[in-house]
């Protein structure tokens, strides 16, 4: 599929895979933006294309950037999520053996666990083109119809944050996923007519952090559905070691383990902390990373021995001190901390719940004994548990 001005392409080193970053078409004068802005945008694209033609990027630089990409490129390089990887790799190999398209797949779980990475690996193992877009980018039915009509046989369409698709766009995916066709209306009133647009067989891969927000008709059309869970410390240490090798960081096993312990069970956080430790070691030390260097660097970053950052400790301290360990409602906590409620629910609370520092009760959030001990506050024994009663 030829790339248009609104597509960006990237080829891997063996030329098998092509990734297309799909974006909705430019809005017309009747939508957002004036005609002058559209013309100016097209001129800017033409100028950029001419600059790239006159000064193409150095292939050596491209290869170096790709070599520093920390994403695994094959299933054999993927660390963790063994059950998911074993199942999806069998499905991919079976589809290749039959010469058929892979069933539509849905990956859900907390952010940073490798959902997007697996989608890229699937496309690479299938020798297919990966068309990458996101739920919020598909605003209108015309966006998704244009995207689907340009897919070729065997292409992989990856929609990140698929739960944020609008209902109008989502309905067009039903027939596209099941029957590989799209029915859409043109004209209005007496001139309205329905057009049946056949599509080439393709594979849709959806990624979401909130599987419960998907409608039942869409969720049931995925033949493959997997939940990605938090990583163990041992698997995270392997991730850190592999990333350090790619980034050419001298790190020992204890240093990798120290970073893994503070990564909240998430590979994305492991790689981020590794970069910060690398920077600290190059400036303050010799460049080699061991346990003491990693501990000192992460202490400066505000990440404690269990991976709690400043916001986590502020949440735990507020609940334990201001509200005597709870119960306290999430709205009251958000107002006290001056932080968005959604941020507390999606970013802070999942890890605190996982390690058992807080619990959710019908009356509100409560701090556990382990949570009190971690921040060094003694629980108030004179405060009755549960919800009080009116006199």
Name the nearest CA neighbour of 263 among 250, 273, 252.
273
Give one DSSP letter per residue of 154-217, joined into a string: T-EEEEETGGG--HHHHHHHHHHHHHSEEEEEES-GGG-EEEEEE----EEEEEES-GGGS-HH
* Catalytic residue chosen out of the listed positions 18, 73, 268, 365: 268
C-alpha distances in angstroms, 227 versus 86, 105, 130, 246, 327? 13, 11, 22, 28, 31
Q: What is the CA radius of gyration of the chain?
A: 25
**Exposed / middle / buried, residue 141 (Cβ in 10 Å: 0-12, 13-18, 19+):** middle
* Catalytic residue chosen out of the listed positions 10, 23, 209, 336: 209
> Cα angle vertex 361, ends 331, 354, to 5°?
90
115 catalytically annotated: yes
* Catalytic residue chosen out of the listed positions 143, 155, 160, 235: 160
252 catalytically annotated: no
Instruction: Tell me if 297 sits within 8 A of 276, measured CB to CB.
Output: yes
Tell me how far apart the alpha carbons of residues 241 and 7 are, in angstroms, rounded to a whole number: 34
Tell me how far apart the alpha carbons of residues 17 and 39 are, in angstroms, rounded to a whole number: 33
* Catalytic residue chosen out of the listed positions 116, 208, 266, 367: 116
378 catalytically annotated: no
Structure tokens at 16: 């098998």
Q: Is the peptide bond before 25 cis (omega within 30 degrees of 0)?
A: no
Instruction: Tell me if 351 sits within 8 A of 307, measured CB to CB.
Output: yes
116 catalytically annotated: yes
Instruction: Tell me if 103 sits within 8 A of 225, measured CB to CB.
Output: no
Instruction: Tell me if 293 sits within 8 A of 281, measured CB to CB.
Output: yes
Tell me how far apart the alpha carbons of residues 283 and 87 are, in angstroms, rounded to a whole number: 44
- Chain centre distance of CA 325: 33
Instruction: Tell me if 22 sits within 8 A of 10, measured CB to CB.
Output: no
Structure tokens at 311: 């916001």
What residues are labeled active site?
Answer: 115-116, 160, 209, 268
């Amino acid at each position: 599929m030829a790339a248009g001005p609104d597509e960006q392409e990237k080829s891997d080193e063996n030329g098998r895979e092509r990734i297309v970053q799909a974006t909705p078409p430019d809005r017309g004068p009747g939508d957002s933006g004036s005609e002058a802005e559209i013309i100016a945008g097209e001129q800017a694209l033409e100028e950029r294309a001419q600059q790239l033609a006159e000064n193409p990027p150095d292939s050596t630089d491209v290869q170096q950037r790709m070599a520093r990409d920390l994403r695994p490129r094959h299933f054999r390089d993927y660390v963790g999520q063994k059950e998911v990887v074993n199942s999806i790799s069998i499905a991919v190999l079976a589809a290749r053996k039959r010469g058929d398209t892979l069933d539509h797949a849905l990956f859900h779980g907390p952010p940073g666990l490798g959902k997007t990475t697996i989608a890229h690996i699937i496309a690479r193992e299938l020798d297919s083109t990966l068309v990458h877009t996101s739920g919020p980018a598909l605003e209108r039915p015309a966006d998704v119809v244009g995207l689907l009509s340009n897919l070729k046989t065997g292409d992989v369409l990856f929609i990140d944050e698929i739960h944020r698709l609008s209902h109008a766009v989502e309905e067009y995916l039903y027939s596209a996923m099941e029957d590989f066709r799209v029915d859409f209306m043109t004209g209005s009133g007496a001139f309205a007519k329905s057009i049946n647009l056949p599509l080439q067989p393709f594979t849709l891969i959806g990624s979401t952090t909130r599987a419960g927000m998907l409608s039942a008709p869409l969720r049931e059309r995925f033949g493959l559905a997997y939940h990605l869970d938090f990583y163990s410390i041992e698997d995270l240490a392997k991730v850190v070691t592999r990333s350090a090798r790619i980034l050419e960081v001298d790190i020992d096993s204890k240093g990798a383990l120290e970073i893994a312990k503070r990564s909240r069970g998430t590979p994305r956080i492991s790689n981020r902390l590794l970069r910060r430790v690398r920077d600290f070691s190059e400036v303050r030390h010799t460049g080699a990373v061991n346990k003491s260097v990693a501990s000192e660097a992460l202490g400066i970053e505000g990440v404690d021995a269990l991976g709690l950052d400043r916001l986590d400790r502020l949440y735990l301290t507020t609940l334990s001190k201001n509200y005597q360990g709870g119960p306290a409602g999430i709205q009251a906590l958000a107002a006290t901390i001056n932080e968005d409620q959604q941020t507390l629910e999606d970013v802070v609370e999942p890890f605190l719940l996982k390690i058992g520092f807080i619990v959710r009760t019908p009356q509100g959030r409560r701090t556990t004994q382990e949570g009190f001990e971690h921040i060094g506050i003694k629980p108030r024994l004179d405060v009755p548990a549960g919800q009080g009663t009116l006199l």
